Structure 1
Amino acid sequence: MKVEDFSSRPALGVALKVCAILLFTCMSAIIKATADEVPPGQAVFFRSFFAIPIILLWLAQRGQLSIGLKPKNPMAHVWRGAIGTTAMGLTFAGLGLLPLPEVTAIGFATPIFTVLLAAFMLGERIRIFRISAVAIGLIGVLIILWPRFGGADLDRMATIGALLILGATLLRSLVQIHLRQMVQTEHTAAIVFYFSLTASILSLMTFPFGWVVPTGSTLALLITAGLVGGVAQILVTSSYRFGAVSMLAPYDYTSMLFAIILGYFIFDELPTAMMLAGSGLVIAAGALVIWRERQLGLERGKVRAVSVPKS
């Protein structure tokens, strides 16, 4: 397998990562804007299918087209696609039921759940430091979710939305575990391309379950979501060529700032004090996990570079 080239240009890496996070958040806002008209499976199809041309052009420009089209373990891509597509579908469904900042906040629990799954599935040892970080993160998640399950004014649909996003977050953590094994044999180019391909095929299977003929404006938004998602995936992948994963990972949390801004100006949404408090704990816990993994010398750059597309 061809070794991928990495160089140290941290400022460029940060710029690419932040731009990618902004585009992913914009994509989520676009999907949310179409959620009342378009079912989640159909939205997943547009998000995945229209990202493929962007990815193919990128691979051709980098001279990796042949690599990207030659998987070494096809079934690994099928499983990655099945889990990731399900996570994306749950996220898109939840976006129609919850405020954008809340969806973003719950999603911050991904690295916390990844640590737990790694312990159960891969036998990784987690000592008191990471156990403490996981505990802090789980408390933060409970604070975020409390109004949806135990608050005074329960909203049934919002509770369902919270469950959908929580399920998507767990599946994204499972994808992270799967990718740790895939990158041992599969090139990043192949992982990026075949996820979009398998997601397009799998989401197309939801056609009998209620696809709609979108209006012209909605169709334009759906195609834009796919193109924006494709560009964002390329940017986040490229960012890890110029900076260490442990240095770039904390910039994932800029998505909360972008979600608050877009949520306010587009959907008239504001985060609650409880949501912000819980998010703060989850972010702190995630940052501790990232720092500890850096201290332990765990190389996760390739996995982060091909993580599940944000939504």
Structure 2
Amino acid sequence: MTIPSAPSFAAPQHILGGIALRLFAMAGASIMFVLVKYVAEAGIHVVESLFWRQALALPFVFAWVVTHGGVASLKTRRIGAHTRRMLLGLAGMGANFAAMIFLPMAEATTISLSVPIFATIFAAILLGEQTGRARWSAVVFGFVGVLVVLAPGAEGIGGFSGEHGLGTLVALGGAIMTGLITIQVRDLGRTESATTIVFWFSLLSLVPLGIAMPFVFQSHSVSEWLMLLGLGFSGAVVQLALTGALRLAPVAVVIPMDYSSLLWSIVCGWWFFGTLPAETTWLGAPIIVASGLFIAWREHRRAIDRAKEVVL
């Protein structure tokens, strides 16, 4: 999951290193989602997948904390805000996992790229952020791309039926939830480092997932345990790479690298599952990407303008 927080605590800046880490994270996320699909095909419940994704990633995240700021950096006075972020995060992660299970990887990834569109809307509504005509135009433009991508699900009664139709609705719900998470993390980022946010999300999420585990847990073969271990390890690597990228380079520089995930999902979907994007995905994806890039660019320009105002 993306952590939209500025590089924290005077971390040394290394633009190329930040870009490389973000690109690596996107490639790793595609591998993680390949494992999500394989684990589902093995009959393992998505709740159990989420539990092991979080539980096995936590030691790696903690090790990162120990070597980058120390355990003292985990102290927080906003446990309630972290809990709300955890509930939103679990809902969003569960929806994204389910979308990857129901849909071809490229299609699910394309819909997930609409997150900046929803984040802009929620920032205007919930945070009262000023959103000019240009950004609203980008939002509308992006929605056109989303509607184009959703067209393959327009079958049957009500426009959405069957596994594919359910998958498109779940993917759209995941993007909306991730947009809300962006707002919550932005609020937490005023007082908490990115690493602290990641740690508390991983730890607190084990409470509801642990309660649910007895109802979904089943015995596994060696190969299934290896897939679950790979899921947790890849999730940790991706999370740490995302956080590390934001320590090395500004948000406006690294966030556009997220769109490389579409290329990786196309390759992985074809290589591992023999699927290619639908025609409408090829048409809608460039529209969504263009909208997201424009929103990111506008955010960058606004940050520069605010800095100039402070100097003046």
Distance 2:67 2:13 in 1: 21
Are the counterparts in 2 of residues 85 and 203 from structure 1 also a CA contact under 8 Å?
Answer: no
TM-superposed CA distance for 1:183, in Å, is 1.2
Q: Of residues 9, 21, 27 in structure 1, which corresponds to 2:26? A: 21
How many Å apart are 1:205 and its aligned residue? 2.5
Aligned length in residues: 296
SS where residue 271 of structure 1 aligns? coil
From 185, 188, 192, the counterpart of 1:186: 192
| Cα drift, residue 236 of structure 1 | 1.2
Q: Distance in 2 between matches of 1:142 and 1:130?
A: 19
- Aligned residue for 1:126? 131
From 141, 148, 160, the equivalent of 1:136 is 141
Task: Work out which of the residue numbers 61, 82, 87 in structure 2 matches 1:82.
Answer: 87
How far apart, CA to CA, are the structure 2 residues paired with 1:203 and 1:162?
A: 25
1:85, 1:199 within 8 Å by CA — same for their partners in 2? yes
Aligned partner letter, 1:167: G
- What is the match of residue 310 of structure 2? none
> 1:151, 1:108 → 2: CA distance?
26
Distance in structure 1 (CA, Å) of the matches to 2:167 and 2:214? 23
Task: For residue 35 of structure 1, give the secondary structure of its aligned residue in structure 2.
Answer: helix
- In the TM superposition, what whole-angstrom CA distance separates every residue of 1:5-39 from its partner, at most 9, and x where no partner exists? 23332111111111111111110110111113111
1:54-107 alpha-carbon deviations (Å, 9 max, x no partner): 011111112422212x22211111110011011111121222211111110000
Q: Does the aligned pair in 1 maintain the 2:152–2:278 contact within 8 Å?
A: no
User: Which of residues 187, 195, 201 in structure 2 aligns to 1:195?
Assistant: 201
State the partner residue of 2:233: 227
1:116 partner SS: helix
Superposed CA RMSD: 1.8
Q: 2:246 aligns with which of 232, 240, 254?
A: 240
In structure 2, distance between residues paired with 1:21 and 1:89: 18
Alpha-carbon distance between aligned partners in 1 of 2:184 and 2:126, rounded to the nearest angstrom: 10
Could you tell me which of 159, 164, 183 is aligned with 1:158? 164
More helix by share: 2
8 Å CA contact 1:144, 1:274 repeated in 2: yes
SS in structure 1 of the partner of residue 247 of structure 2: coil
Residues 100-144 of structure 1: per-residue CA shift (max 9 Å, x gap): 111100000001000001111111121110011001100000011
Q: Check 1:188–1:72 CA distance in 2 against 1; reply closer, same or farther (3 A cut).
A: farther
Post-superposition, which runs of at least 4 consecutive aligned residues in structure 1 deviate over 6 A? 151-154
Gaps of 5+ in 2: 1-7, 306-312
> How does the TM-score come out when normalised to structure 1?
0.91
Counterparts of 2:61 and 2:191 in 1: how far apart (Å)?
Answer: 20
Q: Distance in 2 between matches of 1:44 and 1:280?
A: 31
Give distance in 2, aligned partners of 1:155 and 1:269. 20
* Distance in 2 (alpha carbons) for counterparts of 1:258 and 1:127: 33
- CA 1:157 to 1:209, structure 2 compared with 1: closer, same or farther past 3 Å? farther
SS at match of 1:237: helix
Unaligned runs of 5+ in 1: 300-311
SS in 2 for 1:212: coil
Do 1:82 and 1:199's aligned partners in 2 also have CA atoms closer than 8 Å? Answer: yes
Question: What secondary structure sits across from 1:88 in the alignment?
Answer: helix
Kept in 1: contact 2:195–2:243 (CA 8 A) = no
Whether the 8 Å CA contact 2:22–2:245 is kept in 1: the answer is yes
TM-score, normalised to structure 2, is 0.90
